[in-house]
Amino acid sequence: MKDDYFKYRPDNNNKNIKRNLEIDKHISEYIEYLRFEKLLLKNTLTAYESDLAKFRYYILQNPDFNYRSIKKPQIVGFLKYLYKSHNDVSVSRILSTLRGFYNFLIRHRILEENPMSSIKNPRTPKKIIEILDQQEVNKFLESIPVSTPLDLRDRAMFELLYGCGLRVSELTGLKRGDINYEENLVMFTGKGKKERITPIGNTAIGYLKRYLSSGRGKIEKEIKTDYIFLNTRGGKLSRQGLWKILKKYAKKSGIEKNIHPHIFRHSFATHLLQRGADLRTVQLLLGHSSISTTEVYTNLSKEYLKDAYFKFHPREKAAYNE
């Protein structure tokens, strides 16, 4: 069904053929704008393309639907169509994509008004961010042995993932020249191709040095590369490869949570706030362009503070332990 979104439907009406070619041109121009001017990542671009393809497919199935002069009742019809196979979260995302698409058409003077501006996104439940507490992080890391070159790689990898709050793509993209051992800093290209510097703690850098001196050379084989973390063939470790490794240790650790790579980044940020770091510092360490993105972690730290208060305050401790 998904592939059908990208297929033309036979149409002998010259007016409709012209309209279909026109929207294809505009969608293509919008995607190019997102790729080269907004510098969106490949996965994000794929999501935009998928959303716009669904809109295009609906237009092809409804010859009377003119995207240039779309009215509210027609948008409602499109939403009803979406709700047959999509939930509130997906519909909200598609609406946001279309709102951006129409804003693009307005900026290029193709249209004068955004028909999507009067349509409110469906309310979606707040995304619950799951984290590992500090004991669980330690339990996970201690489940990784350090007896073989691959063990050393894995321990260094997850120590860095948690110790620096890195994204998976940032971790797998690290090269040997990105580490400043004298100043304990990691320098790399983050999301949106932005250069970022973050401190690296003594524990993480200790395991990294151990891996580089005793493990990496035995994995590298005849393939020569500057990437720090290698797969069993000696090439750059992929995101999918890291996922497989993570699943092995998640099972071994016995932690009954959905452990995914980003949970270490969430835990990194939350633990810093719990221990008194200010929001601006955490924002810089995570590489967030807006502090509002970082604020989601304050709710988690508030719960921690409330729990600590009722557990340890002398006037509340007795009631807590009853």
Active-site positions? 167, 191, 262, 265, 288, 297
Query: Scanning the structure block, which residue is given the tokens 């010859």?
Result: 63
CB atoms within 10 A of CB 261: 20
Distance from the Cα of residue 96 to its chain's centroid: 17
Phi then psi for 180, rounded to 5 degrees?
-105, 100
Distance in angstroms (rounded) separating the CA atoms of residues 214 and 224: 17
Q: Which two tokens stand for residue 153?
A: 């790689």
Considering Cα of 37, then 185, then 202, then 294, what sign does the dihedral take?
Answer: negative
Query: Scanning the structure block, which residue is given the tokens 């005793």?
Result: 214
Query: Scanning the structure block, which residue is given the tokens 């036979």?
Result: 10
Considering Cα of 195, then 295, then 42, then 180, what sign does the dihedral take?
Answer: positive
CB atoms within 10 A of CB 208: 26
Q: Among candidates 118, 99, 91, 11, which has minimal Cα distance to 59?
A: 11
